Structure 1
């Protein structure tokens, strides 16, 4: 347990990855938390060794006791890779209303291009969909899913891929449950060909009307990143619209990473960029179909990071509490290896910035994933490095004011 310079913020290390190869290491994607406070996540490396010294990845559970005072680590699935199983889970997990976990693997499967899977509460993993092989970087459905899924009220899964599709730039897809079992796959959109470095398609966020929004790092008109929307019509078809192309900052791409989050009004979204200005920004952007506006919308910068003063280079999105305050992680800091920050919403609509905690090697290094709020207060996240075994940690941040996240 480490206390920040502000005595009201405490960071606790709940688990140190890398004790054994079989338990896995290098956490990827945001954590998922159940009503009891137990945490679920994925690891990119470790687990079974089938001729690959880095392993193929793991789904894990960090089971909490009644009061969240102690945790027990358990591997729920070790990916075998090859055509029978997925490999390299990166996007994190979501918990469905049925209590099962759903996620994606960026590799493996019958096409060697990734899978969508379900992990039942009894530990059985089922591949719901195997993406097709790519030829010349292209296929009909997408490849390398690297982000979390979204589950609609009828159980349909929506997600993105960062490669494949008819242009090789990834896709947006849906998987709808069939009445007799199984899922029906639909390719909703093919992104443009990849032009920039560090290209990836983030996860989706859905508004109350069933429209989706997302970010493409290194996409858009200037290969510097884009905000996009998929707008649903009455016949359940989707129309893709590029909402905003981030400009180059001098000669550097802006690179929005992670996923957007929507406020409780459903009218405004929030996200981060990693390189705009000095070392990144937190921004807001209005939701809704752009055809209903008289002038194109522009992102509003809520905070600009400065690598000479405070945290910098956020690699993940933010979460929002019921008061409209924003919380996130940044990869770097002047005194340590990244940290956790807060943007407090003021009455006039602006935000004040505060660094809540800076990591050091013992507590972890370089957080790259979006935080998640716990049912008993506190925020949870992971670091990609550092900790007891130098292979990452799971941490909890507690503040004097308990937060209620939307």
Structure 2
């Protein structure tokens, strides 16, 4: 299995300087102004050999490099872990995921930074029983399997990214349950198994910690209205509670992506369907459980349609997100939007599906320390396997 050469200490230090703003970021040939006055830059167009179907949001390592995950493509078609350098714009495949009983395979979620400086991820396949794994990558790009899912754990195929509570204690989801992994002891434990009719099911997104110290999450299916649920639970698995079962047409259906706990103390999220135009909604959820629909996505030239991923809060307090369709009727290749906390949506970029920009943004945006919003597309671009891009106000 071939991988990129691990980066040197000098490269790591240069990357840290660049991420902190000590070095100027390169201006790329595929930079252009959007209609909303933002600068859009296509950083890299993926090919199948480099990876396809980007998942999660790209993540900065402690070395300043930007890392991301593909769920498909690469040498064996089972995904890749890639690196992009802010220093010089270079790109490399760090890991080709393979059919393996001793390592991760077929990841379905992005990487997260742990307290230990490692990037942590999950794979839906691999390990001794091919039920999935938890793995890490250190700042020198050494990938190590840390945990394998076995039948006696009652767990199978982790989907969402991990979230860390106390240092070394991680929480994650499969489509059927919530689990905890203690890196210090190596113990993996199922905390709660979803009952589709009451709890909802199909969780594919990361959990978040609420202001109450509990874990909050979304299920896109099931629940009392059979349109998905928003839930919370204690970190020991007790006290599971459905905070909101989507049961009204204007609630939307299929809540996707993680909840965002914004600086105002409220949660914000999206659904991939339902609403007034059946193209999804954006909503607010208070810590007390009050649910408010803020925006009904309509598609067309001036709005997006079918958002799939979590929102992110900018330094200006405005929320940012993507939709997989909308923006250029009738082609509808997807959008990047900003939204006030009252629900006013403005498109800041419309993907055209051709050339360097790509189409179908599915993963969440990442706000870099440099002030840029980084994201990925799953299709289009020069290699027709998606694009790594960034945006910032002009």
Q: Secondary structure at the match of 1:274?
A: strand
Superposed displacement of residue 105, structure 1: 0.4
Out of 313, 331, 344, the position equivalent to 2:340 is 344
Q: Secondary structure at the match of 1:219?
A: coil
Q: Secondary structure at the match of 2:317?
A: coil
Q: Secondary structure at the match of 2:305?
A: coil
Q: Tell whether 2:295 aligns with 1:303.
A: yes
Out of 207, 214, 220, the position equivalent to 1:211 is 214
Could you give the per-residue CA deviations for residues 216-249 of structure 1, whole angstroms, max 9, x where no partner exists? 01132222110000124xxx55321111111163
Superposed displacement of residue 201, structure 1: 3.4
Out of 137, 150, 162, the position equivalent to 1:149 is 162
Q: Secondary structure at the match of 1:99?
A: coil
1:207-286 mapped onto 2 (5 Å cutoff): 207-232=210-235, 236=236, 238-247=238-247, 249=249, 254-265=253-264, 267-277=265-275, 278=277, 279-286=279-286
Separation (CA, whole Å) in 2 of partners of 1:29 and 1:237 = 25
Scaled by the length of structure 1, the TM-score of the pair is 0.82
Q: Secondary structure at the match of 1:314?
A: coil
Corresponding residue pairs, total: 356
Q: Could you tell me which runs of 5 or more consecutive residues in structure 1 were left unpaired when the two chains were aligned.
A: 50-54, 134-138, 163-169, 289-296, 401-406
Superposed displacement of residue 344, structure 1: 2.5
Q: Secondary structure at the match of 1:203?
A: coil
The residue aligned with 2:351 is 359
Does structure 2 conserve the Cα–Cα contact (< 8 Å) formed by 1:195 and 1:223? no
Superposed displacement of residue 343, structure 1: 0.8
The residue aligned with 1:368 is 362
The residue aligned with 1:190 is 193
Q: Tell whether 2:133 aligns with 1:115.
A: yes
1:4-403 mapped onto 2 (5 Å cutoff): 4-6=34-36, 8-18=37-47, 21=49, 23-34=50-61, 37-49=64-76, 55-65=77-87, 70-133=88-151, 140-162=153-175, 170-178=176-184, 182-193=185-196, 199-232=202-235, 236=236, 238-247=238-247, 249=249, 254-265=253-264, 267-277=265-275, 278=277, 279-287=279-287, 297-308=289-300, 309-335=302-328, 336-345=332-341, 350-361=342-353, 362=355, 363-400=357-394
The residue aligned with 1:167 is none
After superposition, the Cα gap between the structure-2 partners of 1:11 and 1:74, relative to the gap in structure 1 and judged at 3 Å, is: same
Superposed displacement of residue 63, structure 1: 1.5
Q: Secondary structure at the match of 2:310?
A: coil
Could you give the per-residue CA deviations for residues 332-383 of structure 1, whole angstroms, max 9, x where no partner exists? 11414001000124xxxx2321000000122010101110001111100000
Q: Could you tell me which runs of 5 or more consecutive residues in structure 2 were left unpaired when the two chains were aligned.
A: 1-30
Does structure 2 conserve the Cα–Cα contact (< 8 Å) formed by 1:81 and 1:109? no
Higher helix share: 2
Q: Secondary structure at the match of 1:113?
A: coil
Separation (CA, whole Å) in 1 of partners of 2:166 and 2:173 = 19
Superposed displacement of residue 34, structure 1: 3.8
Separation (CA, whole Å) in 1 of partners of 2:316 and 2:128 = 46
Scaled by the length of structure 2, the TM-score of the pair is 0.84
Does structure 2 conserve the Cα–Cα contact (< 8 Å) formed by 1:115 and 1:131? yes
Does structure 1 conserve the Cα–Cα contact (< 8 Å) formed by 2:169 and 2:181? yes
After superposition, the Cα gap between the structure-2 partners of 1:198 and 1:159, relative to the gap in structure 1 and judged at 3 Å, is: closer
Could you give the per-residue CA deviations for residues 262-317 of structure 1, whole angstroms, max 9, x where no partner exists? 0124x3101001112211111010125xxxxxxxx342111111023421110111
Does structure 2 conserve the Cα–Cα contact (< 8 Å) formed by 1:196 and 1:223? no
RMSD over aligned CA atoms reads 2.4
Superposed displacement of residue 208, structure 1: 4.4
Q: Secondary structure at the match of 1:64?
A: coil
